[in-house]
């Protein structure tokens, strides 16, 4: 497990105080925590008199473009001065930086700030706090220690980072410290209602069309304990759905009252099916593992190279087996 020492943390604080210019980068397929953390530390360091350049391997998603500074994030590899320190945010390893990996590796000093338990400690200095609900929570602590006063927009970026990585304080990773930080951030005059509407509730029309199809195809097994649905490639194309529009659809299968295990089949071709698993109590990482997949106890998946009917029968059989095991 990745851990950081006080010495390393102090060294990082020293570098942030003493150096004048930084590169900041967060991971590919950016989420609210990676973008919020990037923008927050970026603006805070600028307010502190530093020069920063911000990068992500993919575009900032539409729904985070309202955050101040989002327009300054570049997808071009403009890290041309290898003597500068690069701060890598929310990335468990350097591969998550996609086509930026090589260039980042060339920089003299790499500061690795992350909360993932799988973090590879790839930095020259590592600040990995696995008990933090979000990288944004770690950034908040760093800025406090640096005695950099937060602006309202820095607070807003940190709030988005923390709120998105905790599903608005719903996930198990939410701790008393998470709420304490959220409390301090709201003191800057944030409007949690308007922010939450932007980052949580709003989804695209194709998402809702896909949801309709998923609900129309719902099948219930094992006296209501298993719910499954199937999305063909054809349906996804007809709805004009991008991969982002499919995000979260599988959750609805699990959220049905009485259901223990939700399954969503994405038919990719005549002999390829992607399968998503969600559960309330049963260990779906074990279920996925038996089918050459992986994941977490409550959210996992696999990919099987057979026709849909064969895959469905195989998955259902294993799902029934796992249901009869004691919960974890």
Q: Select 51 or 187, whichever has its Cβ closest to a copy of itself.
A: 187
Other CB atoms within a 10 A radius of the CB of residue 181 amount to 25
DSSP 89: E
Q: Closest approach of Cβ 176 to a copy of itself, in Å?
A: 4
Rounded CA separation 323/225 (Å)? 8
**33-71 residues labelled b (16+ CB within 10 A) or e (exposed):** bbbbbbbbbbbbbbeeebebbbbbbeebbebbeebbbbe
Q: Does 209 bind a copy of itself (CB under 8 A)?
A: yes
Q: Does 205 bind a copy of itself (CB under 8 A)?
A: yes
User: What does the per-residue mask of binding to a copy of itself show for 93-112, with x meaning CB under 8 A?
Assistant: --------------------
Q: Does 59 bind a copy of itself (CB under 8 A)?
A: no
Q: How would you classify the pairing of strands 109-114 and 125-128?
A: parallel
Q: Which of 18, 147, 223, 257 binds a copy of itself (CB under 8 A)?
A: 257
Q: Select 251 or 310, whichever has its Cβ closest to a copy of itself.
A: 251
Q: Select 61 or 289, whichever has its Cβ closest to a copy of itself.
A: 61
Q: Provide φ and ψ at 198, rounded to 5°.
A: -65, -45
Q: Does 151 bind a copy of itself (CB under 8 A)?
A: no
Number of residues that bind a copy of itself (CB under 8 A): 49
Q: Which of 152, 208, 233, 269 binds a copy of itself (CB under 8 A)?
A: 208
Name the residue with tokens 């896909």.
210
Q: Which of 3, 65, 215, 328 binds a copy of itself (CB under 8 A)?
A: 215
Q: Provide φ and ψ at 89, rounded to 5°.
A: -115, 135
Question: What is the footprint of a copy of itself within residues 165-184 (CB under 8 A)?
Answer: 167-180, 182-184
Q: Does 220 bind a copy of itself (CB under 8 A)?
A: yes
Q: Select 100 or 277, whichever has its Cβ closest to a copy of itself.
A: 277
Q: 300: part of which helix (H) or strand (E)?
A: strand 299-304
Q: Which of 14, 95, 202, 317 binds a copy of itself (CB under 8 A)?
A: 202
Stretch of 21-29, 114-122, 215-223, 305-313 lying at the interface with a copy of itself (CB under 8 A):
215-223
Q: Which of 251, 271, 292, 310 binds a copy of itself (CB under 8 A)?
A: 251
Rounded CA separation 77/97 (Å)? 11
- Which residue from 230, 178, 204 is spatially nearest to 63, judged by alpha carbons? 204
Q: Does 66 bind a copy of itself (CB under 8 A)?
A: no
For residue 85, what are the β-bridge partners? 22, 109
Sheet with 219-221, side-by-side order of all strands: 219-221, 226-231, 261-269, 272-279, 299-304, 294-295
Q: Select 51 or 219, whichever has its Cβ closest to a copy of itself.
A: 219
Rounded CA separation 70/38 (Å)? 9
Q: Closest approach of Cβ 102 to a copy of itself, in Å?
A: 36
User: 22: Cβ–Cβ under 8 A, 6 or more apart, which residues?
Assistant: 16, 45, 50, 51, 52, 53, 84, 85, 86, 87
- Site for a copy of itself, rule CB under 8 A: 163, 167-180, 182-184, 186-187, 191-194, 196-197, 200-205, 208-209, 211-212, 215-216, 218, 220, 224, 251-252, 254-258, 280
């Amino acid at each position: 497990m990745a851990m950081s020492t006080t010495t390393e943390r102090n060294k990082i604080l020293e570098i942030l105080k003493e150096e004048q210019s930084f590169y900041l980068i967060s991971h590919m397929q950016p989420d609210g925590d990676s973008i919020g953390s990037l923008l927050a530390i970026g603006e805070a360091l600028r307010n502190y008199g530093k020069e920063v350049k911000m990068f992500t391997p993919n575009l900032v998603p539409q729904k985070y473009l309202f955050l101040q500074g989002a327009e300054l994030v570049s997808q071009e590899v403009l890290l041309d001065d290898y003597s500068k320190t690069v701060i890598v945010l929310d990335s468990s390893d350097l591969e998550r930086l996609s086509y930026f990996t090589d260039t980042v590796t060339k920089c003299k000093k790499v500061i690795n700030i992350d909360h993932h338990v799988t973090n590879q400690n790839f930095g020259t200095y590592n600040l990995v706090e696995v008990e933090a609900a979000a990288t944004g929570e770690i950034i908040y602590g760093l800025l406090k220690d640096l005695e950099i006063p937060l602006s309202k927009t820095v607070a807003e970026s940190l709030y988005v980072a923390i709120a998105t990585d905790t599903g608005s304080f719903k996930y198990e990773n939410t701790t008393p410290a998470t709420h304490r930080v959220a409390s301090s951030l709201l003191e800057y005059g944030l409007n949690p209602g308007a922010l939450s509407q932007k980052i949580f509730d709003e989804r695209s029309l194709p998402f809702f069309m896909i949801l309709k199809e998923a609900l129309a195809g719902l099948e219930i097994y094992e006296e209501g304990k298993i719910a499954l649905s199937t999305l063909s490639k054809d349906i996804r194309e007809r709805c004009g759905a991008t991969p982002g529009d499919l995000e979260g659809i599988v959750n609805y299968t699990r959220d049905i009252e009485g259901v223990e295990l939700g399954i969503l089949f994405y038919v990719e071709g005549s002999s390829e099916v992607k399968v998503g698993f969600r559960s309330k109590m049963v260990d779906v990482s074990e279920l996925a593992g038996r089918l050459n997949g992986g994941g977490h106890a409550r959210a996992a998946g696999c990919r099987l190279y057979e026709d849909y009917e064969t895959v469905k029968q195989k998955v259902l059989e294993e799902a029934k087996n796992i249901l009869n095991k004691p919960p974890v």
